Chains A and B, each alone.
Chain A
Amino acid sequence: MSKLIVKNGRVIDPASNFDGVADVAIEDRRIAHVGQNLNAMGARIFDATGLVVAPGFIDMHVHLREPGIEHAETIETGSRAAAAGGFTSVCAMPNTIPVNDNATVTSYIVERARQFAVTNVFPIGAITRGSEGEELAALGSMKNAGIVAVSDDGRPVMNARVMRRAMEFARSLDLPVIDHCEDLNLSSGGDMHEGLTSVRLGLRGIPAASEDVMVARDILLAQATGARFHVAHISSRHSVAMVAHARRLGIAVTCEATPHHFVLTDEMLAAYDSNYKMKPPLRSHCDTGAVIDGIVSGAVDAIATDHAPHPGSEKMQEFEKCPFGILGLETALGLSLEHLYHTGKIPLSRLVALFTTGPAGVLGLDRGTLKPGVPADVTIFDTECAWTYDVNRSYSKSKNSPFDGKRFRGGPVATIVAGVVVWQRDRQAG
């Protein structure tokens, strides 16, 4: 029977309100105990002195690109990047080729992940067939095959009637409905956030209203249907306000924020660098401030990366031809520490919750905690270590990140999935 003790770290387990120096004992791939001076007889020791020991981080919004787009990322490379970012679980968005809209594709992803992934991979199923927004996908059989939520991420359901039916059906299956809220008519042709910078640069704008009108629509539909509705990568101040308001009314609405939407603004696009091109677009200072306020107030449940690998050749084009999206897995914790914790906006326990109990709660996963008996997924990180992100040494197959070369204060140190250390920072390399 394999036994691992993570010794002497600052254990933060928001689910049990625990925050103190302790040991975490892992036996048989599950958490056995959290306590003081646990008997290490016969166990391997991981010395976590001076480090934070947290439940395994969950990234509920990742594009692994497999099947079909393996030149950009695979389940294996994406999961390795996840592990190097401190994530023990990732949710795979369904916009693969073919789209994950039936149990066969879901089973394929689950099987490939079992063979090649170093982290847990939870597939998200499409809402509609081919994510074409018309006919509902096989939600029930996909649920049986392992999906944890449904979403037509990136190709949002424009027809409100279809969305209503999807919410009704998802509710009966107890699946959350995740929407990439974007009115495709309002955003059509846009390359960046509509505002002073887009006007200056002569780039076509994506108005914040294109997000807001869909958040409003979906909140009303969630209220009408009783479904659990989750806003993906919330980015506009009005959307944050509407989500907070809906929650006060008792509507089952949750949301996630990506690090780039609270760290970067549209002004970063001044040099037409496509590594700043994503959807939703980087918005104004007011919007990033509102996202951070939402994180502080609790309106935002989770931090997710929207990790979106694109090969270099696709990002090396005229700005308007470049695809949307950036890598996110390996920089999420460092950015969150820098902008949320080191700035004093939130305590460390809240930061851990945004990566653990937050997403686990949205998805109904029995993870994100160190309670005895749960799978031994543990994230060990340092709030102070200095390191530099070198995108050319990333585990991801793609290199599209605006954070290449950035110096970080704090980041992941080791990632344990089901009791196995799947990644550990090379201290020499820094």
Chain B
Amino acid sequence: MMKGLLGIEQLERDEIEAILARAKDFQPLQNQSFKRLDTLRGKMIVNLFFEASTRTRTSFEIAAKRLGADAVSITASGSSVSKGESLVDTLNTLAAMRPNAIVMRHAASGAPYFLARHLPIPIINAGDGAHEHPTQALLDARTILDNRGQLEGLRVAIIGDIAHSRVARSNVHLLSKFGVDIVLCGPASLLPAELGQIAPGVTLTNDIREAIRGADVIMMLRVQLERQHEAAFPAGEYFQFYGLRLDHLALAKPDAIVMHPGPINRGRELSSEVADFQRSVILNQVENGIAVRMAVLERMIGEQTHC
């Protein structure tokens, strides 16, 4: 049994395949009138969100509830964290309540590792700083598979603020394990050269047209102003050079899909027309988020004999 999910980097390919396959089983549930299973009945999951998040937290909550588990969500602003309690004390307090898993979002890279070192409970990383966001990469892979059938041999362009993006890191690790041709694109200040060695099959470019040419999938990233501590590019020039416009799409494969982890900024990283573009699968990603998180929670908790 795997203990928690801290990142994609250390996952084996067959583990990923198993989660994606299980998520597919859960997809039809979305369209049923009665959506609840009782696989995790009596289990308790704590969603510990130290950083603002609507879609990921809600998605994890719904996933837990559909599996019959009890989900409690704690956000930093409403918790003792804002009263100066240290992370380790917060965690010890929560551990004493004996949850079956903790889902954690934190602005500091590596925070779930800290948690996993101190607690014997499975920790599911719901995004740590600029490091990883494993369930996002899994739901992105599920979405690509729904549209393409297989990952091998695809060309995926990931465009935007790569340096600060945990979504990009997790996607790169996942796609690389499946032999995808990955192109990372952004301004040099947001695209450190070392990214080229982060996983096999990765190339870098500062030219959005070159990135999109021949792509099967175009993944746009949000510009994370909250993680940029200085001006990484001249003010006002981002959209001009790295925003995705409809005319760019002609360079991609004719049936290329456009993805975005949300929340989108119309007019910043993609034009409004692209956001509403028929081959944009942004809302499918949201739907798949629930199915994938159900698969992850079931795998982390369902096989526990006791806790």
Interface residues of A (CB under 8 A from B): 188-189, 194-196, 198-205, 271-272, 313, 316-321
Give bound CA distance, A194 to B193, whole Å. 11
Which B residues between 55 and 103 are near A, CB-CB below 8 angstroms? 86-88
From residue A318, how far is it (CB to closest CB) to chain B in Å? 4
> Shortest 8 CB-CB distances between A and B: which pairs?
A272-B110, A202-B131, A202-B130, A318-B108, A202-B109, A199-B194, A196-B194, A272-B113
**What are 25 A-B pairs at a CB distance below 8 A?**
A188-B229, A196-B194, A196-B198, A199-B192, A199-B194, A199-B195, A199-B198, A200-B198, A201-B109, A202-B109, A202-B110, A202-B164, A203-B131, A205-B192, A271-B117, A313-B86, A316-B86, A317-B87, A318-B87, A318-B114, A319-B108, A319-B109, A319-B114, A320-B109, A320-B129
Give bound CA distance, A322 to B282, whole Å. 38
Give bound CA distance, A189 to B164, whole Å. 14
Contact code string B163-176 (vs A, CB < 8 Å = 1, else 0) = 11010010000000
Q: Are A202 and B198 in contact (CB under 8 A)?
A: no
Give bound CA distance, A271 to B10, whole Å. 12
Residue of A189, A200, A205, A318 touching B111 (CB-CB under 8 A): A318
Chain B's interface size range is: 20 to 34
Contact code string B211-255 (vs A, CB < 8 Å = 1, else 0) = 000000000000000000100000000000000000000000000
Q: Are A272 and B194 in contact (CB under 8 A)?
A: no
Determine whether B210 belongs to the interface, using a CB cutoff of 8 Å to chain A: no
Q: Are B86 and A203 in contact (CB under 8 A)?
A: no
For the A-B complex with A319-B111, A320-B109 known, give 5 more contacts whose Cβ atoms are closer than 8 Å: A194-B192, A199-B194, A201-B131, A272-B114, A319-B108
Given A317-B86, A317-B87, verify A271-B128 contact (CB < 8 Å). Answer: no
Give bound CA distance, A316 to B109, whole Å. 15
Q: Are A320 and B88 in contact (CB under 8 A)?
A: no
Give bound CA distance, A195 to B194, whole Å. 6
Q: Are A320 and B108 in contact (CB under 8 A)?
A: yes
Q: Are B113 and A271 in contact (CB under 8 A)?
A: yes
Q: Are B87 and A189 in contact (CB under 8 A)?
A: no
Closest residue of chain A to B108, judged by CB? Answer: A318
Give the tally of cross-chain contacts (CB within 8 A): 63
Closest residue of chain B to A313, judged by CB? Answer: B86
Which residue, of A195, A199, A205, A313, has the highest number of chain B Cβ atoms within 10 A?
Answer: A199
Q: Are A201 and B110 in contact (CB under 8 A)?
A: yes
Given A313-B86, A318-B87, verify A200-B9 contact (CB < 8 Å). Answer: yes
Contacts of A321 in B (CB 8 A): 108
Contacts of B109 in A (CB 8 A): 201-203, 272, 319-320
Q: Are A202 and B129 in contact (CB under 8 A)?
A: yes
Give bound CA distance, A109 to B118, whole Å. 39
Determine whether B181 belongs to the interface, using a CB cutoff of 8 Å to chain A: no
Q: Are A202 and B86 in contact (CB under 8 A)?
A: no
Determine whether B31 belongs to the interface, using a CB cutoff of 8 Å to chain A: no
Which B residues between 157 and 216 are near A, CB-CB below 8 angstroms? 163-164, 166, 169, 192, 194-195, 197-198
From residue A183, how far is it (CB to closest CB) to chain B in Å? 14
Contacts of B88 in A (CB 8 A): 316-317
Contacts of B229 in A (CB 8 A): 188-189, 204
From residue A399, how far is it (CB to closest CB) to chain B in Å? 15
Determine whether B142 belongs to the interface, using a CB cutoff of 8 Å to chain A: no
Determine whether B299 belongs to the interface, using a CB cutoff of 8 Å to chain A: no
Give bound CA distance, A6 to B193, whole Å. 58
Contacts of B192 in A (CB 8 A): 194, 199, 205
From residue A390, how far is it (CB to closest CB) to chain B in Å? 20
Contacts of A272 in B (CB 8 A): 109-110, 113-114
Contacts of A199 in B (CB 8 A): 163, 192, 194-195, 198
